[in-house]
Structure 1
Amino acid sequence: MAGNPVPIPAKGGPHEKILCIDDLRRAASEKLPAGARDFFNSGSTDQTTLFENTTAYSKYRLRPRVLVDVSRADPSTLCLGHRVAFPLGISPAGLQAMAHPAGELATARACARRGVNMGISSFANYSVREIRAAGLKVGPMGSAMQLYTMKDRALEERIIRKAEAEGCSAIFLTADSPVLGVRYNEWRNDFRTPKGLNFPVIEWDSETIQKRTHDDGFMSFNDDAHNWAREIPWLRSVTGMEIWIKGVLTAEDTLKAVEMGCDGVLVSNHGGRQLDGVPATLDALPECVEAAAGRIRVHVDGGIRSGTEVFKALALGAEHVWVGRPAIWGLAYDGEKGVDLMLDTFYNEFKRCMQLTGCNSVKDITKACLGIVRSDGPLARL
Structure 2
Amino acid sequence: MTVTIIGLVLLALAAFPAILALMNLAVLRSTQRRHPDGETLVSILIPARNEAANIGAALDCALASMGVPVEIIVMDDGSTDSTAEIVRTYAARDPRVRLLTAPPLEDGWTGKVHACHHLAQAARGTHFLFTDADVRLAPQAAAALAGHAQASDAKLVSAVPRQVMTTLGEMLIVPTINVLLLGYLPMGFMRLSRDPGLGAACGQLILVEAEAYRETGGHGSIRALIHDGIQLARLFRRKGFMTDLVPGERLASCRMYGSFGEAWVGFAKNAHEGMATPVGLPIWTILLLGGHVLPFALLPFVPTVPILLAAFLSLSTRAIVTVSTRENPLSIPLHPFTILVGLAIQWSVLLGIGTARRAGWKGRLYPVG
Say whether the fold is shared (TM-score over 0.5).
no
More helix by share: 2
